[in-house]
Amino acid sequence: MDTRTAAEETPSGDERAAAETAAAEGHTTIRFTGRFWPLFKIWLGNLLLSVITLSFYRFWGRTRVRRYLWSNFEIDGDSLEYTGTGRELFLGFLILLAALVPFFFVQGLLNILLREQPAALQISVQWALYLILIYLGGYAYYRSRRYRLSRTLWRGIRPQLSGSPWHFANLALIYLSVYALSLGLGRPWYDRALTRRLLTDIRIGSLSPTFRPRLGALFIIQAIATLIFLAAVALPFVIEAQFLAQTDDTDEIVRTLVSVFSIILLMIVPWLLLINMAYISKRYRLFAAGTALGNVTFSMTPGFWAVLRLTMGNLLLQLLLLGTGSAFTQYRTAKFYARHLKVNGKLDTAKMHQHEANETGFGDDIADVFSF
């Protein structure tokens, strides 16, 4: 039973005004009406029960958090409903263990057998195992999104993710290779390819999103980040070459290089972080503008500082709460999307009729372990 008070359910003046304006203009309204203290009580209860049960309660605790967040996310005045269960998440965790235990057993066995082999062979095997984990991570990520969609209801409508998780894993591995080999310049292609696969695989009755974003601005921002990174990597080698021409004192050269590396890291990490926030804020805008669902289009309004506050705030919460703050980071993220995501036009619910959903029978904790 929902025990929230009327005051807790009442949205802020800004949220109410934005919703009224959108409704008056004939657009779909999005609001998040959740409040901190009810969520804090859920989080505290979950934490205590997880400690008592040696963390086994976390599956049911996560379900409680999702039900609260989903029920407070409104589209055109009607809340979402989360129908997943803790049992399903627990089953997903057991399946994960069944898959990973043999994998790590084989990895340990190979480490023993290859101990006397050349280092190049050992490194090659380790990289091959790492690529397998990345591939399974892509599979798990897609399955987790399928599960969450299949457990989400709005006006009795249950969307589904109809594609193949294996195809998504193939795509993720290919574009991740492009990303790495291009020294980061391929990041916009990587982001577009994976987002397009996820969005265009969604089925909501007879509707499916289209996704055609522009990438030019993203390539410019990413090129700046890549140039800074390459300059930072090259500078120590230039300094080393100069020292080698002037002295044979190996200890002095090493001390100087360590100092140079430390200074460079202190200088470039903040810049790369800020450039990354600029990239993400631009990506939100371009990807939303390139998405449509039937006759409905989307837009997002977050600027650089909004993305920075969300990212750094979530990171700080996780650090302060020793990794147990996911309920609050999800809460902040839901508020972020409700505030900045705009739906232009009215959703045609007549075309979003209920259909036979392509559900998965177990939960999405499998993706959390891979941290894809």
Cβ(310)–Cβ(336) under 8 Å?
A: yes
In a domain, residue 298? The reply is no
Q: Are residues 203 and 225 in the same domain?
A: no
Cβ(192)–Cβ(215) under 8 Å?
A: yes
In a domain, residue 168? The reply is yes
Cβ(8)–Cβ(37) under 8 Å?
A: yes
Q: pTM for the full model?
A: 0.85
Distance between CA atoms of residues 239 and 221, nearest Å? 28
In a domain, residue 24? The reply is no
Q: Are residues 188 and 145 in the same domain?
A: yes
- Give pLDDT, residue 113: 86
Positions of the chain with pLDDT lower than 70, given as ranges: 1-25, 239-256, 353-372
**Token duo for residue 103:** 């994998």
Q: Are residues 129 and 195 in the same domain?
A: yes
* Domain end (from 270, 289, 308): 289
Cβ(297)–Cβ(345) under 8 Å?
A: yes
- Give pLDDT, residue 359: 55
Q: Specify which residues 342 forms β-bridges with.
A: 299
In a domain, residue 279? The reply is yes
* Domain end (from 289, 319, 346): 289
Say how many domains are in the chain. Answer: 2
Those residues whose C-beta lies under 8 Å from the C-beta of residue 64, and which sit 6 or more positions away, are: 42, 45, 46
In a domain, residue 34? The reply is no
* Residue 115 structural domain: 97-150+159-210
In a domain, residue 235? The reply is yes
- Give pLDDT, residue 97: 84
**Token duo for residue 154:** 């709005």
In a domain, residue 364? The reply is no
In a domain, residue 29? The reply is no
Q: Are residues 187 and 233 in the same domain?
A: no
Distance between CA atoms of residues 149 and 61, nearest Å? 19
- Give pLDDT, residue 8: 41
Q: Over the stretch 139-179, which tens digit does the pLDDT of each residue have?
A: 989 999 999 999 999 988 899 999 999 999 999 999 999 99
**Exposed, middle or buried by CB within 10 Å (0-12, 13-18, 19+), for 320?**
exposed
- Give pLDDT, residue 371: 38
Distance between CA atoms of residues 274 and 224, nearest Å? 11
